[in-house]
């Protein structure tokens, strides 16, 4: 195994932590490294990434650009969830109309860069619901990534957060396919949005901030459990190195006994281990 040392280093590191941690890495589409890679974890907002890919596929099939307008109705603007888009709309005169039209690219920006819950649900609703995304993932051969419920449904029944699940191997494989094989104009726009993601700077991107690597990633963050532990803190992405090599990585942390900053630091440390092992070859 070419990356046997990395495999052992990650295994020992993960086992030393007071949390359930899954890691999967796909290097240049060939080499694979994983720890708890086949275990299911709640994706949380990482699931907005496959939703965006399914939307892009729908637009390709219908020959639509990302400046195509999407209708936003007043009932789409839930105020009891995380939604910078809703805050901006409600504070402006745009809300005076019964129906607001927003370019698809702007919705995706809120959804992927800021992890906006209402933007995600509007996109999912436009696709006809979660089953469309599930079917799309099946068509491209991705298993162990499951989109089952909307953000609104998870808000009403938090236990549904566990249904929107993925294994680290499944998510790393999806990131690998996206990074290497999807290079049409819509995919390039998604890659740009993910490379300028405003959430999770202390996670996967942190140890690569002073390098020339490009990190496209999507975060997911859960709630605090009754016993004070963190339900889940996640990050998954695709890293392009200056020499043309690349790798995908998924780090899922469930039931963390640490605070948010410490849990994010675990993801950053794992990211640094992987970057060091890949870039040194």
DSSP 193: H
> CA 222 to CA 277: how far, in whole Å?
30
Catalytic residue among 45, 115, 150, 187: 45
Instruction: State the CB neighbour count (10 A cutoff) for residue 91.
Output: 9
Residues with Cβ within 8 Å of 245's Cβ and at least 6 positions away in sequence, in order, are: 27, 28, 278
Has 195 been annotated as catalytic? no
The conformational region for residue 129 under phi > 0 = left, psi -120 to 50 = alpha, else beta, is left
Contact (CB, 8 A) for 24 and 169: yes
Give the HSE-up count for residue 40: Cα atoms under 13 Å, Cβ half-sphere: 10
Report the sign of the C-alpha dihedral through residues 268, 111, 137, 186, in that order: negative
Planar angle of CA 36, 39, 42, nearest 5 degrees: 120
Q: CA distances (Å), 272 to each of 174, 225, 253, in order?
A: 21, 28, 16
Reduce the DSSP state of residue 224 to 3 states and report it: strand
> CA 247 to CA 240: how far, in whole Å?
7
> CA 250 to CA 152: how far, in whole Å?
25
**Which tokens is 169 given?**
């191997």
Name the strand (E) or helix (H) holding 145: none
Among 241, 105, 251, which Cα is nearest to 179's? Answer: 241
Report, as residue numbers or ranges, the catalytic residues: 45
């Amino acid at each position: 195994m070419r990356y046997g040392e990395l495999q052992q280093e990650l295994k020992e590191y993960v086992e030393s932590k007071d949390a359930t941690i899954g890691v999967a890495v796909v290097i240049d589409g060939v080499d694979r490294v994983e720890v708890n890679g086949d275990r299911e974890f709640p994706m949380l907002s990482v699931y907005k990434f496959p939703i965006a890919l399914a939307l892009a596929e729908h637009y390709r099939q219908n020959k639509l650009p990302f400046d195509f307008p999407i209708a936003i109705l007043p009932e789409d603007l839930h105020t009891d969830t995380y939604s910078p888009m809703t805050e901006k709309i409600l504070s402006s005169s745009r809300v005076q109309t019964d129906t607001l039209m927003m370019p698809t690219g702007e919705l995706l920006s809120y959804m992927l860069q800021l992890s906006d819950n209402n933007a995600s649900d509007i996109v999912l609703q436009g696709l006809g619901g979660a089953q469309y995304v599930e079917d799309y993932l099946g068509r491209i051969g991705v298993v162990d990534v499951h989109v089952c419920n909307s953000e609104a449904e998870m808000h009403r029944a938090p236990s549904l957060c566990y249904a929107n699940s993925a294994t680290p191997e499944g998510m790393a494989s999806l990131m690998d396919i996206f990074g290497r094989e999807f290079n049409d104009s819509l995919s390039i726009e998604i890659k740009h949005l993910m490379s300028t993601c405003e959430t999770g700077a202390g996670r996967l991107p942190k140890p690569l901030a002073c390098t020339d690597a490009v990190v496209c990633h999507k975060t997911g963050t859960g709630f605090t459990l009754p016993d004070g532990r963190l339900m889940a803190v996640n990050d998954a992405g695709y890293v392009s190195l200056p020499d043309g090599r690349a790798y995908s990585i998924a780090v899922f942390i469930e039931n963390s006994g640490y605070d948010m900053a410490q849990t994010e630091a675990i993801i950053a440390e794992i990211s640094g281990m992987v970057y060091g092992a890949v870039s040194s070859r």
